Structure 1
């Protein structure tokens, strides 16, 4: 085992794919364009205060699985609020967005079913498909014609098409209305992971399903995380009540996992109330993303930086070593930038992923512009 670990570590190092944990410090002064705190709520005093109040009221942990002692009144209030906000009939909160996807996909498929998984689906959806014991077809699920061909050729009675509402790397928005039309015509369920769409897309941040006019549709399942726009932690499945009841009975990541900590549930509930009351945060996020993209475009005219449709601004540099060096250079100048390399992205497309936030100030955006002009020019010259 030891020799194998050394060999694989050396191979990753040679390919520029070694990863290092870099702990943040309290009061870290850098401008952060790497986090998923899209609406700037993770440190909002109202959100932090609600989490602290839940901590004092319920304790540090939920003390058990949701089916034993892990369901507090707070969890149910959060589920009701999430369902109401997104226009869904019912909701079920999990301990993370990852486990929400594992629970939804595995419980709704299984042997004798088909999972059509997008080629760029998040790792949690990929793992869920593998664990489902269903037949899996990996296809470009953002292409309705491709999905239609796969569904038409199947022999299975049940089929679930899984896709990200907003791509986690480049921010592209899936054509959900067209995909749903195909799924409905072929008797399939559409499962949309809206981790990067909730709080970002749709009226007031209600997500990509609401934006597509599909909120509450009986043959659609929505999953999301509470750790991005809501600044907390946890995951949720939103669907028809019969689906939620089925998950309570059969979803192993729900049944056998300790429930979400009450502090996280309280913080997420407060964040959701803020999003509902302050929809201008969503508009501010998109303005900030457009500004960051304009800076990247001006700093690296040889790179195609598309107009952002969500929070993320991808700057593709190609070689992983170049991307790592660029991220390190950004940090030296006071800017934290996300760095994506294989297997997160295809070979040859390593990149900086700059993530905008609604609370970025004019001074912070000016620093972003200055740093990108210093760093990207040097990166392109390598």
Structure 2
């Protein structure tokens, strides 16, 4: 397996800047979209939670002694996202796998969209289709109406966004699925929760609700939400089956001190979301029309097909995302990622450097 072509090591948590071998760089990478890891007020709430709950709860959620903070946080998450119910786990990967394993037990067959996240694969290696999300769901709705298709329990598995290329997916096609078959729509919203939808509430409200399509949304909380855990949104019956499975029962739960911080941090999240959106507007207004970056309005990821943008910006003291993902053999993915922790001056410097690149090479 080939090694990365370039990487750097640091001994501190990335923020709006990073230090590499004594030189400071503006940091436009990562997935901390709301800037919470360095938010002093949020850190203060974690400290409060640490004093009350400690750093970890080393017990099964299904044990005969349970902490109330889990139910409080899950009710708040579900209400905020607009979902019927929520269940937290210790990572987004675990949330995806808990949902997938339950669907396997229920006898569903899986159909994957292009670029779907490995968190919701039902095997270590699965055949992921090539092409676009639009072509995938158009083919899906066409073949699903074919009377010769005898599969009646299909799990349709996708992401809510193409975070590698900064594109939000549309889900109106769900209304075109035939009503004589049973579907589960499993959506990974790891890169949407906290930044897309009304107030950052994620994808749940953007997906049409139909009687024969059961909706399950999973997400990492370690990205925009700033929490070391994952969540599953669905109907109470589906989550009941997952909650009382051996897989869930054997898992250690998400750290309770962070869930305490989440429950108390509504104003912090709202403020961070507003600051992120202001940064996105400033940047998009300044680079629109350069033909350098593709993006969706109000979303903090900006994709470039020009991989040489990475070394160009690095020479100017700006560090952006550029490496192969999810496998080392994949093509390098070069993108600029904005966060709520960036200042207007940071955005201005990034914009000027991008315009310089476009002037020289486009």
How high is the TM-score relative to the length of structure 2?
0.83
Contact 1:62 1:258 survives alignment (8 Å): yes
Q: Which runs of 5+ in 2 are unaligned?
A: 19-23
User: Is 1:204 matched with 2:195?
Assistant: no
Aligned mates of 2:216, 2:6 — CA distance in 1:
34
| Bigger helix fraction | 1
Q: Report what 1:286 is aligned to.
A: 277
SS at match of 1:222: strand
SS at match of 2:304: strand
Q: Which runs of 5+ in 1 are unaligned?
A: 1-7
Contact 1:63 1:69 survives alignment (8 Å): no
Contact 2:181 2:212 survives alignment (8 Å): no
Distance 1:70 1:167, change over 3 A: farther
Q: Higher relative contact order at CA 8 Å, sep ≥6: structure 1 or structure 2?
A: 2
* CA deviation profile, 1:129-175 (whole Å, cap 9, x unmatched): 2269xx97747554432122444464333211111111221121222
Question: CA shift at 1:329, angstroms?
Answer: 4.8
Aligned residue among 256, 259, 262 for 1:265: 259
Question: CA shift at 1:65, angstroms?
Answer: 2.9
Q: Which moved more, 1:54-63 or 1:182-191?
A: 182-191
* CA deviation profile, 1:16-46 (whole Å, cap 9, x unmatched): x456462342674543211212122222223
Q: Report what 1:337 is aligned to.
A: 320
Q: Report what 1:166 is aligned to.
A: 161
* CA deviation profile, 1:41-74 (whole Å, cap 9, x unmatched): 2222232122111111122211123223895221
Aligned mates of 2:292, 2:311 — CA distance in 1:
19
Q: Report what 1:358 is aligned to.
A: 340
Segments ≥4 residues shifted beyond 6 Å: 215-218
Q: Report what 1:123 is aligned to.
A: 118
Question: CA shift at 1:210, angstroms?
Answer: 1.3
Aligned residue among 98, 104, 121 for 1:109: 104
Question: CA shift at 1:213, angstroms?
Answer: 5.5
How high is the TM-score relative to the length of structure 1?
0.79
Contact 2:116 2:128 survives alignment (8 Å): no
Distance 1:242 1:294, change over 3 A: same
Distance 1:347 1:174, change over 3 A: same
User: Is 1:22 matched with 2:4?
Assistant: no
Aligned residues: 350
